[in-house]
Structure 1
């Protein structure tokens, strides 16, 4: 299968190649530094205390082999929605549909989470927007306006989307750099890192898993690869490298800036801060920066949601190309250069989910579970698409990493990811007989879910998860059988 894999694989000519390298970097980086950068440093601090910066660094290092795998796949498949389409080539439409639904559901659930993160930050100034951790009627109105604005920008097509994403991404990057430099200089207490705190090993691992909510945005550039002539793989690596630096420095500065009055209530109380970085800046004596972060509380999550909404439209196209969606959902408008019908459908669905989504902290574990399961398919596909022994070794290591981090999420979040795969498989069975290559995927998820259900001590469960992952990797590469694409 490692021959000329791109034979017969092409995009609709109505897509416009108008995104450059800077835009591709912005798509990945902008999705990485969404609401995660604003709220997660406080959540990980509540779980791991002064070890929080190490959590982010370890999370990035663990994910790095997976990032390299996807950067290689991005070069092999510079296509719209390629995150789904290469799986169809190696394992067929049944499995591609399962992965596509993991991406779709994960993204659809992320958009309301990002909108709530915005309202959460705004509630620091306008308390009437939130009550007991949940949006009020006014809060829901603000969230709805954000979602409507996002889908209107997506409707403009790749040029308008690129301009919006570039502006938002590099603006919030500038704000974060100002935060790191000014707060670290003005108010950094080394003593905060010596406060006695002994997190449980399971909490430390769960904190690492939560970092995947932020880091997982690295693959967004792949979705737009067919609308650019730039090197998507290079864009992914640059974006991830920058994010690792940011996500190590920001938790470090955040913890160093906390006052004794904040820490006197214990590390658990840090996770309840409504606007962590804004409050940190105010504590450091930079109220103007605190106000800027309230503004960033609107910019960062909205930017990530904008990219996610754009992703959804292109996922729809990719699933149509694999034969999993009706052709109407993949029809590319000649003027806009994107499928129009999904913009309206997903926009309406995103508005609906605003009123049923859980809080930020409750949701992210479930979202991470879907992302990690989706990660695992890339290493398997790369193994089948290459004869290079180094790439194949990299593929195995990456797959084992995804299995490990998926187990860190814990039960019942692992069950949610497994349920999505099961439903997608059952839905596709009437439409394709090529279901055997997808069975390993359900088995892999189900067995690790069962291990997490048993609540085995981590030191025992981790080697078991590695062994189980190795077995399913073998099954995955042995049963691979792809399908062709649908012409649209």
Structure 2
């Protein structure tokens, strides 16, 4: 069935196949190790204490079935913006619109969050950039300049984007390796892991959910699949395995490097650190590495934002192909090899949201909710497209995982994701009669939202989530009905 589907799908010939395997790996890896690597080790440690490295390891293992699903879909659908387009093929444009808006909003939220992470790290050296956890006028000015530069680089097209992303990704990977080796060797206090700490079950699960802010970047290579002749599925798997290693070692070294005076204030106080890894390196007696992290405070978030901005342009094209966006937003420029109008529109919107969002720690839960909801559609599509029994079992397991992680973020974050789906479906109903295949999606997110409204995640609520997810997975596979694509 997958082969038959692929015959009727094509990309605009103006897209250029200029991204190699290292670029595809960099797209996914660069999005995974963005601001999350700089801030989240301290945030997860504040929630899970010395168990924080296990939180990251568990988060990676938990998400692994979903990653494998998308690596398989990347091989079936090697097209631009394919994360949205395969949904249109299996469940129609109303469903594709819902998923597309989740990706769009999630990515649009990411860019200002990443810019704020940069301001946070710079404020460690220049305190005037931030005041009580919020950017000052100078801070907003710096964030605005970063966003403008990002969209200018996206405007250069896939070749310029690939060069920029490769340089940034492998540079920050080098900095992290230096941190793990230097700080791990010079200042590793094993006793820090034996300090008493009893995290609540809900906080532990929420910490796992927060790791998805970082790990969720695995899918970026898939967005550029149509602009490369390399194996996108392979690139996704390599990037994700590397990220799991990094996100287990960095929190491990971070906790081990902390002094008694820092930990004496309690694990919860770690979330207040403005530049956790830089401070960790300075405590360990290697200020040069700390200085590198102040530099990385600009590099890592900017790299993730750059990839995210590039994603947005491809999402716009995919939504136009599905008929959920005006065709003008999917028109590919001959010279640049990308749609130009979305660069201008999303650039302006990203600048606007810099001044509207809450702080990093308050915003990421909402972003995780949109990401996980969007990812829940991949397993359903693979179940329908693949005739392999092993793929169908994998799809079911991956879907259950997305349901569980979505519940981990808790209310009202779950409500935010549900409202995005509801508004997308309502907006598309006048333009398509094929809305039945999208109703399971609204029901799935709505039921999980209702459960999280009445209770925090517990050992008793999780089986209920699994049962509900099983029921909606069945509905999703039985009501599937796809639509064709627009010719752009």
The answer to whether the superposition gives a TM-score over 0.5 is: yes
2:178 counterpart of 1:178: yes
* Alpha-carbon separation, structure 2, partners of 1:333 and 1:448: 42
SS in 1 for 2:124: coil
Q: Deviations over 1:8-27 (max 9, x none)?
A: 10000000000000000000
2:338 is matched with 338
In 1, are the aligned partners of 2:33 and 2:300 still within 8 Å (CA)? yes
1:454 is matched with 454
SS in 2 for 1:459: coil
SS in 2 for 1:4: helix
* Alpha-carbon separation, structure 2, partners of 1:209 and 1:251: 16
Kindly report which structure 2 residues correspond to 1:342-381, keeping only aligned pairs within 5 A, or say none.
Answer: 342-381=342-381
* Alpha-carbon separation, structure 2, partners of 1:406 and 1:350: 25
Q: Deviations over 1:262-309 (max 9, x none)?
A: 000000011110000000000000001100100000000000000000
* Alpha-carbon separation, structure 1, partners of 2:374 and 2:2: 22
* Alpha-carbon separation, structure 1, partners of 2:458 and 2:480: 32
* Alpha-carbon separation, structure 1, partners of 2:369 and 2:21: 30
1:395 is matched with 395
* Alpha-carbon separation, structure 1, partners of 2:222 and 2:79: 8
- Report the CA distance between 1:248 and its aligned residue: 0.3
After TM superposition, what 4+ stretches of structure 1 lie above 6 angstroms from structure 2?
none
- Report the CA distance between 1:2 and its aligned residue: 4.8
* Alpha-carbon separation, structure 1, partners of 2:387 and 2:178: 46
1:298 is matched with 298
* Alpha-carbon separation, structure 2, partners of 1:304 and 1:86: 24
1:34 is matched with 34
In 2, are the aligned partners of 1:3 and 1:385 still within 8 Å (CA)? no
* Alpha-carbon separation, structure 2, partners of 1:296 and 1:260: 26
SS in 1 for 2:214: helix
- Report the CA distance between 1:247 and its aligned residue: 0.3
* Alpha-carbon separation, structure 1, partners of 2:2 and 2:340: 35
In 2, are the aligned partners of 1:186 and 1:284 still within 8 Å (CA)? yes
SS in 2 for 1:343: helix
2:424 is matched with 424
In 1, are the aligned partners of 2:201 and 2:457 still within 8 Å (CA)? no
- Report the CA distance between 1:7 and its aligned residue: 1.8
1:274 is matched with 274
Change (3 A) 1:16 1:3: closer
* Alpha-carbon separation, structure 1, partners of 2:381 and 2:457: 32
1:321 is matched with 321
Instruction: State which drifts further: 1-10 or 90-99.
Output: 1-10
In 1, are the aligned partners of 2:2 and 2:385 still within 8 Å (CA)? yes
2:85 is matched with 85
Q: Deviations over 1:331-376 (max 9, x none)?
A: 0000000000000000000000000011000000000000000010
2:262 is matched with 262
2:441 is matched with 441
Kindly report which structure 2 residues correspond to 1:4-403, keeping only aligned pairs within 5 A, or say none.
Answer: 4-403=4-403
Change (3 A) 1:153 1:456: closer
* Alpha-carbon separation, structure 2, partners of 1:306 and 1:361: 21
RMSD (CA atoms): 0.6
In 1, are the aligned partners of 2:410 and 2:456 still within 8 Å (CA)? no
In 2, are the aligned partners of 1:119 and 1:135 still within 8 Å (CA)? yes
List alignment gaps of at least 5 residues for structure 1: none
In 1, are the aligned partners of 2:20 and 2:230 still within 8 Å (CA)? yes
Q: Deviations over 1:39-83 (max 9, x none)?
A: 000000000000000000000000000000000000000000000
In 2, are the aligned partners of 1:213 and 1:364 still within 8 Å (CA)? yes
1:485 is matched with 485
Q: Deviations over 1:139-187 (max 9, x none)?
A: 0000000000000000000000000000000000000000000000000
In 1, are the aligned partners of 2:407 and 2:448 still within 8 Å (CA)? yes
TM-score by length of 1: 1.00
* Alpha-carbon separation, structure 1, partners of 2:244 and 2:412: 29
* Alpha-carbon separation, structure 1, partners of 2:386 and 2:287: 54
TM-score by length of 2: 1.00
* Alpha-carbon separation, structure 2, partners of 1:247 and 1:195: 21
* Alpha-carbon separation, structure 2, partners of 1:121 and 1:416: 29
List alignment gaps of at least 5 residues for structure 2: none
- Report the CA distance between 1:473 and its aligned residue: 0.1
* Alpha-carbon separation, structure 2, partners of 1:50 and 1:443: 38
* Alpha-carbon separation, structure 2, partners of 1:53 and 1:470: 30
* Alpha-carbon separation, structure 2, partners of 1:313 and 1:251: 33
1:409 is matched with 409
- Report the CA distance between 1:3 and its aligned residue: 5.2
